[in-house]
Amino acid sequence: MMHSVPKTMTAVLLTGHGGLEKLVYSRDVPVPAPAAGEVLIRVTACGMNNTDVWVREGAYGTEDDPSAVSTWRRHGNTLTFPRIQGTDTVGHIVAVGEGVDRARIGERVMVDFSIYNRDDDSLADIDYMGHGRDGGYAEYMALPAETAHVVATDLTDIELATFCCAYLTGERMLERARLAAGETVLVTGASGGVGSAIIQLARARGAVPIAVAGPGKEAAMLDIGAQAVVTRGQGDLAEAVEAASGGRPIDVVADLVGGPLFNDLLKILRPEGRYTSAGAIAGPVVQLDLRTMYLKQLELHGSSQGSRADFRRLVRYIEEKKIRPLVGGVYPLSEFHRAQTDFMAKNFVGKLVVVPD
C-alpha cells in the first residue's frame, strides 16, 4: 500500500547542550528525502536511552577534563544542532532512494542505529543515528537501506522498539567478556534498559545472572530471569553477592553503575575474572587499586554499542523468542519532556517508548 508523504512533520529537536528546555517540539520540520541507497520510514515507535540524556546534558567529559561539557564521541565530534535524537526506532518503509528496490515499500523494520564508518568489525570509529545524523524522535526518518531490518516476529511496534540500543549494548558487553554457558555474571543497574537486557541475554547464552537492583524491583528481576537479586545499598555488597550466588564464583561483572561500587566489584570477581562496563550512572570517575587488578589477573573491558554480528544475533534471539520486551511506559511525542523526566527518575523496569502523536 502506498503512503502519501507530507512535506513537514512533527519532531523533537535537540537545540544545544543543557536542560529540558533544549528539547523543542516542532510541528514544521521538513520531512527528509531518502538519498541514494536509503529508505524513508514512517516512525511508529522509538525507545529512550541514557545516551539521549547524557548527550543533551553534554555529560561525557573529555580525557583531560571529566567535568567538561562534551558529547558522546571521544574523537571527532559529529553532533550538530538542531539534531533529532532517538536510536531504538521501528517503522514502516514509505519511500526509497535511488538504487533501492521499490518492493521494500511497506516493510516493517527495526533500525540498526549504528553508523559503523568501517567495513570490518572494529568499533573504533563508531557513531550512531540520533547523534551523527537524525534519529527517530520524529514522524519520519531517512536511513541507509542496509540498516533497516525486517524481523520475523508478532511483537508490536512498541515492543520491538525496546530492544535495539539496550540489548545491542548488552550483547556486546557479554561478547567482549566472553560470557559462556554455566558461568555466573553479576549485573549492576539491572532494572534499567541495558541491565534487564543483560539478564535475558545471559540466559540466552546458558549463563547464570545475578542482579543488583534498587529496593522494590526484586520480583521484577526474578521474573525476567535473574537467578537471585541483591538489593542495592543494603549491607556489605560482597557478602550479599556471596549469599545470593550460593558461593558460586563470579566470572563476569557487567557494570552499568560505576561510582563507589567499582572497587567492590573488582573484589567480588574471581581470579582471572572479567569486568565489562558500558555506563557510569553513579559516577564516571572511580578509584582503582591496581594491585587488585594485577594480583587477581583481571580483565577490564570498555564497551559501547555493538557490531553488525551482534545485531544479527540480537535479531535471531528476538525471532527465536529467547528474549522478551519490557515496556516501562509509552508517551506521545508531544509529551517528550514528561517522558524524559520520568526516564531520569528511573521508577520503572525496562524501556520507555515514545510514539508519534
Q: Are 213 and 204 in contact (CB under 8 A)?
A: no
Q: What is the pLDDT of residue 2?
A: 55
| pTM exceeds 0.85, yes or no | yes
Looking at residue 350, its pLDDT comes to 85
183 has a pLDDT exceeding 90: yes
> Using CA atoms, how far apart are residues 77 and 248, in angstroms rounded to an integer?
44
CB-based contacts of 7, cutoff 8 Å, min separation 6:
30, 31
- The DSSP letter of residue 261 is G
Confidence of residue 309 (pLDDT cuts 50, 70, 90): very high
Summarised one tens digit per residue, pLDDT across range 235-252 is: 889 999 999 999 899 999
How many other C-beta atoms can be found within 10 angstroms of the C-beta atom of residue 139?
Answer: 22
Instruction: Please compute, for residue 17, the number of CA atoms within 13 A of its CA located in the half-sphere on the CB side.
Output: 15
Neighbours of 319 (CB within 10 A): 12
* pLDDT at residue 296 in the model: 97
Q: What is the pLDDT of residues 262-308, one digit of tens each?
A: 999 999 999 999 999 998 888 889 999 999 999 999 999 999 899 99
pLDDT digits (tens, 9 = 90+) for 193-249: 899 999 999 999 999 999 999 899 999 999 999 999 999 878 889 999 999 999 899
Angle of the 336-345 helix axis to the 50-57 helix axis, nearest 10: 100
Could you tell me what percentage of the chain is helix, strand and coil, using 3-state DSSP and rounding each to the nearest 5?
30, 30, 45
- Evaluate whether 172 touches 303 at the Cβ level (below 8 Å): yes
Query: Locate cell 514522524: which residue?
Result: 139
CB crowding 233-272: b at 16 or more within 10 Å, else e: eeeebeebbbebbeebebbbbbbbbbeebbeebbebbbee
Those residues whose C-beta lies under 8 Å from the C-beta of residue 258, and which sit 6 or more positions away, are: 277, 279, 280, 281, 282, 283, 284, 286
Residues 6+ away with beta carbon under 8 Å from 144 = 37, 38, 39
How many Å apart are CA 209 and CA 198, to the nearest integer?
A: 8
DSSP 131: T
